Chain A
C-alpha cells in the first residue's frame, strides 16, 4: 500500500538488532485496562468478582491463541491473515470428527493442529509461488474455504462428555482450564521470538526484507515457516474453541477476526512488520476481553460492544501510524 514506503523508511536502520521495546505501550495498555476495571468496579461493586475473572479469562483463551498466529504473520511482514475464520472452523470440524470417533484428547489436539498447519502451508504456497500479497490470498482462501465448509456441514458440536468436552468445562487453579495453555503459549512465544535465531529472522524479514535477504535469509522459507506455524496456532485455538463453543456453524468464527486484529495492533505489533512484543498480547487481549463484561455491568446492550471495539481499533492504528511517521517506534 502506498503508505508503506514511509513506514519502511522508519524501520530500524540495523534490522537484525531487534528491539525489545514497547514497554511504554505496555504501561499505557495496563493503565487503560485498570481504568476500565476501576470505573466499572466503582459503578457496580459486584463487577470485581470471581465470576468476572472467569468470564474474562475464558474469552481471552481463544482470542489470545489466535492473536499469536496473527502476530507472527504481522511481525514477519505478512500483514494480516484474513483466512483465520475458515482455518479455525476447518480445524474445529476436524477436532469434532476425531472426538466423535472416540479418539483421545491428545490425538484430537494433534489432528486440529496439523489441519491448521496444512491450511497455513496452503496459503503460504500460493503467496510464495504466485508471489501474491497475503492479504488478498487469505481473503480469497477465506471466501473459498467458508463456502466449501458450508457445503460440507451446517452445525457441529463435540460429543457430550467426551474428553474435549470435559476439558472445555474444567477449571484449574480457579480459572478455566483453557486459559492456561494460552498463557503458556504467549509467554513462550514472547520469550523465544527475540532470543532465538529463527525468531529474529522472522522479525528481520518483517522489518526490512531487502536487508534480511542480503544477510542470506531465505524469504520464501521464512514465509512458509511463519504461515505454517501461525496456522498451527489457529489449529490449537480451534481445540479451545470447539471445546467451549457448543454447536457452531461455518460462520461462527467471523466475529472473532476483528478482535484479534485489534489485539495485535493494540499490543504494538506493527502491521508493517518488524517490531512488537508478544507478551503485550496478554494486556491487549485482556483489555479487549474485559470490555464485553464491563458493558454488561454498565447496562449497555452487547451491540454497543462493537462500537467501542471499532473506535478503539481506529485510535490504536492512528497511534501506530503516527509513531511510524515520526520514526520513533
Chain B
C-alpha cells in the first residue's frame, strides 16, 4: 500500500511481517491465489480454460467498471450506496431511448449526463449539507430504483436489442471478451492515478484525514464532489454496458449490485467506513476472487446461496484485517 497518510509508526521487529501479512493488496492476493488453487484442484484444469475465464469475464465487465470508479468515492471517504440503482436507472433510460429509435452514441451521452445529475444531488446533500453519506446515498438508491421502475413501465422490461452494440460488446481478443480486458486496463489506469499522480494522492489524503488535507491546501469538498460524480459516471457506464449485453433492461437489473461490489471491494482492501485505504488493483482482485468462488460452486452444482455465506465470512475477515492493519477499532 503506498499512501501518504502515514500509517501510525509502530516500533517492533514484527513490523515487517505484519506488513507482509496485512498489506492491503497482500491479503487479497493470497485470497485470490487460494481461490485459483482451490478451483484448479477441485474443478480441474477446465477452471482456468479460456472458455471458462471468458464466461466469468463477461459477467465481470460491469462490476469491474463500477468498482473502479466507485473506488474513488470510497478512497475519498464518502461511500456511494446508490451505484446499484444507478446502474438500473442507466440501463432503463438507455434501453428506453434506444427503443424509441435514438442513435446509440447520443443515447449514451444523454444517459451519462442524467447519471451525473443524480450524482450531483448526492454531492449537494453530502458535501453541501453534510449529510451522512451512507444514509443519503441509501435514499438515492431507493429513489433511483423507483425512477428506473417507472421508466420500465408496467411491463417491467424494455427490449432494446441493437445488433451493432451487441457485436461490439461481444468482441473477443486473445480468446477473452475485449471489454473484460478493457475493464482490466481501466482498473490499472485507476490504480496508476491513485498511486502515481498528484490527484490520486489528494484523494487518498482527503479520505485519510480531511482536516490535515484541508490544512495542506487540498480542496476537500472539491475532491469529494469529483469522487461522487466519478462514482455515478462509472455506474452509468455500467448500466449502458448491461443494456448492450442483455439487449434489454429489466426490473432486476442492478438489484443488490452495490452490496456485491462493496463486499468484494472490502475483501479487496477498501474500507467503506474510512477513506484513504484500498487500491483499485486490490478491489479488482476482490471482484475476481468472488467471481471465482461463485464459478467454482456453479461448476460443482452447489447452491449459489453458499456464495453469499462465503462472501459474508470473507467480508468479516477482511474488515478484521483492516482493523489489525490500523483501521479504527470500534468500541
Contact = CB atoms under 8 A, between A and B. Distances in A.
Given A147-B308, A303-B150, A258 B272 contact: no
B139 interface: yes
Interface in B272-331: 272-275, 303, 305-309, 311-313, 315-316, 319-320, 323, 328-331
Interface stretch (A16-24, A36-44, A131-139, A274-282): A131-139
Residue in B121, B124, B309 whose Cβ sees the most chain A Cβ within 10 Å: B309
18 contacts: A2-B206, A2-B275, A5-B211, A6-B130, A131-B323, A131-B331, A135-B272, A137-B319, A139-B263, A141-B312, A147-B307, A303-B149, A304-B146, A306-B149, A307-B150, A309-B139, A317-B139, A318-B136
A325 interface: yes
B80 interface: no
Nearest to A2: B77
Nearest to A134: B330
Contact of A320 (B132, B266, B272, B306): B132
B290 to A, nearest CB: 12
Contact of A1 (B274, B309, B315): B274
A5 B77 CA distance: 13
Contact of B266 (A1, A136, A209, A325): A136
Contact of B136 (A144, A304, A314): A314
Interface of B: 77-79, 121, 124-126, 128-136, 138-147, 149-150, 154, 206-207, 210-211, 259, 263, 266, 272-275, 303, 305-309, 311-313, 315-316, 319-320, 323, 328-331
A144 B150 contact: no
Given A1-B134, A261-B138, A322-B130, A305 B146 contact: yes
B264 to A, nearest CB: 12
A307 B139 contact: no
A270 to B, nearest CB: 9
Interface string A293-322: 000000001011111111111101111111
Range for the number of chain A residues in contact with chain B:
35 or more
A2 B206 CA distance: 9
A307 B85 CA distance: 12
A146 B139 contact: no
